[in-house]
Amino acid sequence: MRLITWNCRGLGNGLAIRGLLDVQKQEAPDILFLAETKHDGKWMEWLKWKLGMTNMVTVDSEGLRGGLALFWRRGVEVQLKSFSKYHIDCVLTEDDGLQWRFTSIYGESKSEGKDNTWKTLRSLKYKSELPWLCSGDFNEILFSYEKEGGPPRAELNMQKFRHALEDCGLHDLGFVGDPFTWRNNHHMAAKFVKERLDRAVANCAWRCIFPLVKITNGDPRHSDHRPIIIDVGSRGRREWCGQVEILPKFEAKWLQEDECEDRVMAAWRRAMEEGCNTMVEV
């Protein structure tokens, strides 16, 4: 199965529509999530048929701000669970009956509103015990090295994002491609900024089922964000799930972050104490 999450930065012109149709043609996703559609459900109904994806859930934009849409092709079983201006949460059922959860995210961009995103994420955590994949534009970075240019990100904001993922048991799935998923495309080099605002994360139960998952930061086309392309890969042995935890790849540079060393090492120790069979790369 292939999923794509993309902040498409509006669909109000021909260039944007052509870019989206090009993504659909080249990547052929089973599920497609769009953030910042800047349209209501009625307009998105037209786009659904244009994309050739027969199913859709939308969250209307607020004027020219926001707007979410989740599309899926015929034959994919999706059950909507909840939605808000920050997310669409659903359960996917595989042909053999296996169920797992997919939550698409569009995080608050303003510093004073970011806590709303993390509150939403934490509330979602307690709504289901299913294997959980979460992807989208979180509008925040985890560490300072995920940004180049402009003023540094506030350490407190990055810390709150790290804590939210930790509280939800969600681990970054890594990526292939350009490490920066957003850029402001400013014509002046001194004001050019790029950041990793978009990513895919999952809990250990999901990663156990899909150990070969591949995340690609795709071509941004018309948008200032890169689409996150998720190929779930072959499934692992189902009977292992809940017994084996695969930890994220450990990077030594994490320890350079303020207040990060104790938290990272504590997480590793806790996982080992819980009996997870794991390989940690340094």
Query: Per residue of the chain (282 residues), what is the pLDDT tens digit?
Result: 999 999 998 887 888 999 999 999 999 999 999 999 998 888 899 999 999 999 999 999 887 789 999 999 999 999 999 999 999 999 999 999 999 999 999 999 999 999 999 999 999 999 999 999 999 999 999 999 999 999 999 999 999 999 999 999 999 999 999 999 999 977 777 789 999 999 999 999 999 999 999 999 999 998 999 999 999 998 875 444 444 444 444 444 444 555 545 554 555 455 444 444 433 332
Do residues 236 and 209 touch, judged by C-beta distance below 8 A?
yes
Beta strands per DSSP E along the chain: 2-7, 31-35, 55-59, 68-72, 77-84, 87-93, 99-106, 132-137, 147-148, 171-172, 176-177, 182-183, 194-195, 198-202, 214-217, 228-231
Residues 6+ positions from 265 with CB-CB distance below 8 Å: none
Question: Which CATH topology does 2-238 take?
Answer: Deoxyribonuclease I; Chain A (3.60.10)
Q: pLDDT above 90 covers what percent of the chain?
A: 72
Beta carbons of 92 and 100 less than 8 angstroms apart: yes
What's the confidence (pLDDT) of residue 51? 93
Q: What's residue 237's pLDDT?
A: 55
Predicted pLDDT of residue 42: 87
pLDDT of residue 258: 52
Q: Where in the chain is the domain with CATH 3.60.10.10?
A: 2-238
Residue 159: what pLDDT? 98
Distances (CA, A) of 108 to 65, 85, 105: 11, 9, 10
Q: What is the dihedral of CA 19, 22, 26, 27, to 10 degrees?
A: 50
Number of H helices, E strands in the chain: 6, 16
| % of the chain exceeding 70 in pLDDT | 83
43 CB-near residues (< 8 Å, 6+ apart): none
Question: Long-range pairs for 253-261 at CB < 8 Å and ≥24 separation?
Answer: 253/143, 253/145, 254/143, 257/143, 257/144, 258/155, 259/155, 259/159, 260/143, 260/162
What CA–CA distances, in Å, run from 140 to 143, 194, 280? 9, 12, 26
Distance CA 246, CA 244 (A): 7
Instruction: Check residue 41 and give its pLDDT.
Output: 86
